[in-house]
Amino acid sequence: MYQRALQGKEKAWGPDHTSTLSIINNLGNLYANQGKLVKAEQMYQRALRGYENACGLEHALTLDAMYNLGKVFKQRCYAAAKLSASIAVLAYVKYLAGLCIKFPSARLALFDDVGRAFVWIGDDAKSAAAFAHQLALNSSAYNAYCNGCGTNLTVNTSRLVCRVCEDSDLCRSCFDKLESNGLGDVSSSCQGHKFLDLGGVSIGRSPSTDDAIYRVSVEEWLKDIAL
Ligand SMILES: [Zn+2]
Ligand SMILES: [Zn+2]
């Protein structure tokens, strides 16, 4: 149905009209929901390019397509990690880093995906760096919540990142309960899973003095993983 609508819109409005792009984006959603990640990625890439041309980098429609694309990159990382295909995971980490470079406002969310991708392939140092950069962006709070108690994860609660699940974190206290089998149902899906412990990880950032230094280092870090 979308395909037919798309052909009609393309004919009537041209490929870069926002009505055409909205159909392309919806088609991406449809494929993503069906788990057809290759096709979803193609649609979101087209939508993103079109919105960039039609509306510019900062427009809400552009950012929406960018987040959709980032989500597919993350899912493709996860699928590749499950097959132990580290090289494929790294290829998608590069795409994610490329989005971070082009869309600085998306970094808080995308650093999370980069951090998890490195966790899944066992590169703890790079993963910890990604989460530390995320913390530095956001006043010592991760953009994430504990799957056990729902608390906002910060430097103070610590953060334990599940090495197995696509999207699971625990605070220190829930992790300790899980270890002693006391967490109940909430995170029983993580029973027996290994975690990366981010306790003590932070990149010092004093806003008055370190901003320039911090910005250089995060840009360099991104370029390094986007290579
Ligand atoms: Zn918790
Ligand atoms: Zn888990």
pLDDT tens sequence across 43-57? 999 999 999 999 999
Structural element, H or E, at residue 196: strand 195-197
| Structure tokens, 116 | 């998890």
What confidence score (pLDDT) does residue 144 get? 94
Whole-number Å distance, alpha carbon 165 to ligand 2 midpoint, is: 4
Task: Tell whether pTM > 0.85.
Answer: yes
205 pLDDT tier (thresholds 50, 70, 90): very low
- What's the mean pLDDT in 7-33? 88
Whole-number Å distance, alpha carbon 18 to ligand 2 midpoint, is: 40
Range scoring the smallest mean pLDDT among 9-18, 112-121, 146-155, 171-180: 9-18
What confidence score (pLDDT) does residue 21 get? 95
Whole-number Å distance, alpha carbon 158 to ligand 1 midpoint, is: 10
Cα 178 to Cα 172: distance, rounded to the nearest angstrom: 10
Is the pLDDT confidence value at 178 over 60? yes
Whole-number Å distance, alpha carbon 140 to ligand 1 midpoint, is: 17
Find the Cα–Cα–Cα–Cα dihedral 185, 190, 196, 202, rounded to 10°. Answer: -30
